[in-house]
Amino acid sequence: MAVSAENERPVKVLGWAARDSSGLLSPFEFSRRVKREQDVTVKVLYCGICHSDLHNVKNEWGFMSYPMVPGHEIAGVITEVGTKVTKFKVGDRVGVGCMIGSCHNCVNCGDNLENYCPEMVPVYGGKFSPDNDSEDSNGTINYGGFSEIMVVDEHFVFKFPNNMPLDGGAPLLCAGITVYSPLRYYGLDKPGMHIGVVGLGGLGHVAVKFAKAMGLRVTVISTSPSKKEEAMNHLGADAFLVSQDAEQMQLAMGTMNGIIDTASAMHAFLPLIGLLKTHGKLVMVGLTDKPLELLAMPLLLGRKIVGGSVVGGIKETQEMIDFAAEHGIIADIEVIPMDYVNTAMERLAKGDVRYRFVIDIGNSLKSY
Ligand code: NAP
Ligand code: ZN
Ligand code: ZN
């Protein structure tokens, strides 16, 4: 009799999975691969809930298969190390982010850009490829961090500095690197530059923190006037624009060197290009499922650039974590028990979170 995918690997694990595109999560037993020479086993203590998890449990981008265990902002402690592990020892505080494998041979891997490797293995939802020598070759679907343990090649594991809490630090593994990487890559990191952050959610609020730590002037561009007070007085933004307020937007035209757009749904795009100075860069990191409205003329008049970015490579992610620790940056979080996850997903869909849900996996994931 054929062995079901979730039982193909021998290490039994409890997690929470969505079974269909309703996105409803419930307890799920599955198994992880046997630890190999370069693997570490991580006891998961905390896992953030990213809006991508919400898109994915509902299969909004169309490439998920079920059951799927979400979670890619994973923080915990190492409980076992393989014989060839050199970076870690048992007891180390670590993180695992969006990917757990890549080919290690392509140009992107050579440039420490595993996130752009054609064979990048996402932490959940993807399949371990038979051709990918860094991972299992059984072709079964892998499962994410809403679970007790992870078994991961040490290359894809990050060290948490001693002064960084695991709960507030966990969201940096996706939200943090997703905004840090484009600030660096697009050169929007020079003190005195003025950048806009579209969407004050999980990604947006850490974008404000990183940008301020880099010495930038930061304007939040939001659909939620109620977030102004917190953006300016708590997160340290210098200005706040309500995107539907044409007068406010008009006054800010041509003032920004760059914009990091983290909005999770369709929104007007041309006004953002108008906010840019000559040579300004609009970087999309938020994922919408509809085509963007784009005209050539506003780009030509000002040599403006529209770009994109997806998380970051392993080396840069560790650099981001160390930068965050040095500058005291963590996410503002609401810690929740595992069995609150479906309510948390509903609240996230409505934008009702300040600013990231983090599941207390260590204390609340148990058999029901
Ligand atoms: P989030 O916490 O839900 O924040 C998204 C924010 O977008 C909301 O707080 C809201 O901010 C704004 N927004 C929501 N609906 C909007 C609309 N219709 N028009 C304009 N703005 C709207 O989500 P997140 O976890 O930060 O993720 C944001 C997006 O980034 C998601 O699409 C996610 O899938 C994507 N993402 C991409 C990467 C990558 O590597 N590129 C990595 C992680 C996540 P205001 O209330 O301030 O308007
Ligand atoms: Zn994410
Ligand atoms: Zn590669």
| Closest listed residue to residue 17, CA positions, set 30, 8, 7, 5 | 30
| Closest listed residue to residue 42, CA positions, set 147, 119, 122 | 147
pLDDT of residue 6: 52
**Helix (H) / strand (E) containing 220:** strand 217-222
Tell me, in angstroms, the distance from the centre of ligand 2 to residue 176's CA: 9
pLDDT of residue 7: 56
How confident is the model over 7-37, as pLDDT tens digits?
Answer: 555 678 999 999 999 999 999 998 887 778 9
Confidence of residue 130 (pLDDT cuts 50, 70, 90): very low
How confident is the model over 161-210, as pLDDT tens digits?
Answer: 999 999 999 999 999 999 999 999 999 999 999 999 999 999 999 999 99
Residues within 5 A (CB) of ion ligand 3 = 102-103, 106, 109, 117
Distance CA 325, CA 43 (A): 22
Tell me, in angstroms, the distance from the centre of ligand 2 to residue 96's CA: 12
Nearest ligand atom owner, CA of 116: 3
pLDDT of residue 133: 38
Ligand 1 atom having least distance to the Cα of 175: 43
Ligand 1 atom having least distance to the Cα of 224: 46
Q: What is the DSSP code (8-state) at residue 338? A: G
Is residue 165 within 8 Å of 331, Cβ to Cβ? no
Query: Range with the lowest mean pLDDT among 65-79, 116-130, 317-331?
Result: 116-130
Find the mean pLDDT for residues 140-152.
Answer: 90
Confidence of residue 294 (pLDDT cuts 50, 70, 90): confident
Phi, psi for 198 (deg, rounded to 5)? -90, 125
Distance CA 280, CA 257 (A): 5
Confidence of residue 131 (pLDDT cuts 50, 70, 90): very low
pLDDT of residue 137: 41
Name 184's Cβ contacts closer than 8 Å, sequence gap at least 6: 316
Nearest ligand atom owner, CA of 307: 1
Cα-based torsion angle of the residue sequence 55, 353, 93, 34 in order, rounded to the nearest 10 degrees: -30
- To test the pocket of ligand 1, the residue of 72, 235, 262 to mutate (highest count of ligand atoms within 8 Å of its CB) is 262
- Percent of the chain exceeding pLDDT 70 equals 93
Count Cβ atoms below 10 Å from residue 225 Cβ, excluding itself: 11
- To test the pocket of ligand 1, the residue of 49, 51, 358 to mutate (highest count of ligand atoms within 8 Å of its CB) is 51
pLDDT of residue 228: 97
**Helix (H) / strand (E) containing 204:** helix 202-213
Tell me, in angstroms, the distance from the centre of ligand 1 to residue 79's CA: 34
Nearest ligand atom owner, CA of 103: 3
Q: What does the chain come to in residues?
A: 368
Question: Which residue minimizes the CA distance to atom 30 of ligand 1?
Answer: 286
Q: Which residues pair with 46 in a beta bridge?
A: 75, 360
Ligand 1 atom having least distance to the Cα of 356: 2
Distance CA 264, CA 252 (A): 23
Confidence of residue 142 (pLDDT cuts 50, 70, 90): confident
How confident is the model over 253-279, as pLDDT tens digits?
Answer: 999 999 999 999 999 999 999 999 999
Nearest ligand atom owner, CA of 243: 1
Residues within 5 A (CB) of ion ligand 2 = 50, 52, 174
Secondary structure (H, E, C), 146-190 = CECEEEEEHHHEEECCCCCCHHHHHHHHCHHHHHHHHHHHCCCCC
Q: Which residues line ligand 1 (CB under 6 A)?
A: 50-52, 55, 174, 178, 199-204, 222-224, 227, 262-265, 267, 285-287, 309-311, 348, 351
Distance CA 92, CA 118 (A): 31
Question: Which residue minimizes the CA distance to atom 25 of ligand 1?
Answer: 51
Tell me, in angstroms, the distance from the centre of ligand 2 to residue 51's CA: 6
Tell me, in angstroms, the distance from the centre of ligand 1 to residue 31's CA: 32
How confident is the model over 47-99, as pLDDT tens digits?
Answer: 999 999 999 999 988 888 899 999 999 999 999 999 999 999 999 999 999 99
Tell me, in angstroms, the distance from the centre of ligand 1 to residue 298's CA: 24
Question: Which residue minimizes the CA distance to atom 23 of ligand 1?
Answer: 51
Question: Which residue minimizes the CA distance to atom 18 of ligand 1?
Answer: 265
Give the chain's end-to-end CA distance (angstroms, integer).
29
